[in-house]
Structures are given as C-alpha cells and as structure tokens.
Structure 1
C-alpha cells in the first residue's frame, strides 16, 4: 500500500488504510499497474496481506470484501480498495519470507514466496486476529 507517486508520503497512505480498515492501491497508470490491480480485485476474501509502517510496526490483515473505488482516498493515492481487518504484529512473529520480501523494498501488491508463508501467517493470525 505504497503509492508509486513520489509526491505522496508513504505514512499518509498507510495511516488512512489502517484507520479505515482498507487494503489497496492508487491509480493504475500502466499495464503493470493494471496487473497489480487485477491481483487485488481477484484475491479471495480471507486472503492474508502484510504491510509495514516506515520506522514503525508491521501489520497482517485479511481481505474482507470486494474491490471498490474510493475517490476520497485520491489525495493519498489509495483509490482502489478492499475492506481489510488489520492487526499489528510483534517483529519476532513476522515470518522470514515476509521480512525478506519487505527488505527488497517493493511497492507492489504481490504474492510472497515460499508457499509455506501462508501457513506461517495463519498461525500468526490465530495468535493475534479475530
């Protein structure tokens, strides 16, 4: 949930998403962004997602509803959204594959590999989630 626009502070986008219980992205301006948007739209309800706040916490969430457009999020480039339940995670509980993916610095809605990360995430969710 990081804007690809350099004029949008990352923290502002995340603050809105976490406060309103959203997961999403900004405008799809090219073919690659269209593919990312399609992944967001097509992800099944209950899918796990991860994000982290710069200099702050790491959060795990679960998608809980269909895609919708939210033009109120245009200022922070968060207009393509899905409802999401977020829980902050102690750094010691974050699966290694999630940490490795974050270390690459991407701004993408992407699947995290290896495949066992979903089971590890489910265990974290069971400890912390609803």
Structure 2
C-alpha cells in the first residue's frame, strides 16, 4: 500500500508542516490535544471529542499503517519526496509541532525524487487537493514506488 501525506493542518491559517516533517524525519497528521494524550487510544478518543469521529478514524488508520509502507509528499518547493514509515505513532507536543499542527507523528525516512521519476498516480493524487493522509488507489503504485525507492532511496 502507498499513501499520500500532504502534512497540512485541517485548520485554515495554519502553515504547512511538510518541510518540518522532512527535516525531522517524520510523517504526521494534525489534531492538537492539550494536555498531551497518554497513548493512542486516549488520543483517538480525545480527537473524536474535540474534532470529529471522522478525524479520529483517520488518526487510527494512520497509526495502523505498517512500518515500511511507502508515503509520498510534496515539499514547500513543490518537489516530491518518497518516504517509508519506520516507527509507531507518537504524540509530539513540542511548540514547533503545535505551530504547524503536525502532532500525531511517526518516524519516516525520506528521499527527494526528481519530477520525471514520480509515478503518474502520485501526481494525480496530489492534483485532487485535500489535506488528508490517505491511500493512493492507483494500480501499480506499490511496484512503481518500490522501483523509485530502489533507485533514489
């Protein structure tokens, strides 16, 4: 499975968190909670209460994606990056994470990918817009992402 990770808050006016995530080796989603949750179950319950059930369900799905899954994002410069998730969910309550509302995070190893190497399904997934972490359902994305990773990762 391959995912799209815009790493933008669902709240208007919050700057994108993608460049911070790339620099810190993270992949994440928003949903700031105060005080920090005790664990994932607590986070999901509090996101459901403070935001919406759908937002909480997205958080749960993000946390359940297996390590090693491919993730595509676009930096602030518009360049594409391919990553592989490399750790469990955790809450980052730091001021820097809260400033961009990218607080529900997982470790991720990222590599920049030249534009001509980006699969068409990735380009289409980002062209649709949106701020959700979501699976890219384009045929062949797994094999294409693996080939890109083997070349550039």
Whether TM exceeds 0.5 here: the answer is yes
Q: Partners of 2:19 and 2:130 in 1: how far apart?
A: 19
Deviations 1:104-127 (A, max 9, x none): 002111110123101100000000
Greater Cα radius of gyration, structure 1 or 2? 2
TM (normalized to structure 2)? Answer: 0.79
The match for 1:24 is: 28
Aligned structure 1 segments of 4 or more residues deviating by more than 6 angstroms = none
Give the alignment's Cα RMSD to 1 decimal.
Answer: 1.1
Instruction: Find the residue that maps to 1:34 and give its secondary structure.
Output: helix
Q: Partners of 2:77 and 2:152 in 1: how far apart?
A: 21
Per the TM alignment, residue 38 of structure 1 is displaced from its structure 2 partner at its CA by 1.1
The match for 1:44 is: 66
1:59 pairs with 2:65: no
Instruction: Please say if residues 19 and 76 of structure 2, whose CA atoms lie closer than 8 Å, have aligned partners that are also in contact.
Output: no
The match for 1:101 is: 125
* Uncovered stretches (5+) of structure 1, i.e. residues with no partner: none
Instruction: Find the residue that maps to 1:71 and give its secondary structure.
Output: coil
* Uncovered stretches (5+) of structure 2, i.e. residues with no partner: 1-6, 32-46
Q: Across the two proteins, how many residue pairs are aligned to each other?
A: 127
Instruction: Find the residue that maps to 1:107 and give its secondary structure.
Output: coil
The equivalences for 1:8-23 within 5 A come to: 8-10=14-16, 13-23=17-27
Structure scoring higher RCO (CA < 8 A, sep ≥ 6) equals: 2
Instruction: Please say if residues 18 and 75 of structure 2, whose CA atoms lie closer than 8 Å, have aligned partners that are also in contact.
Output: yes
Q: Partners of 1:36 and 1:119 in 2: how far apart?
A: 25
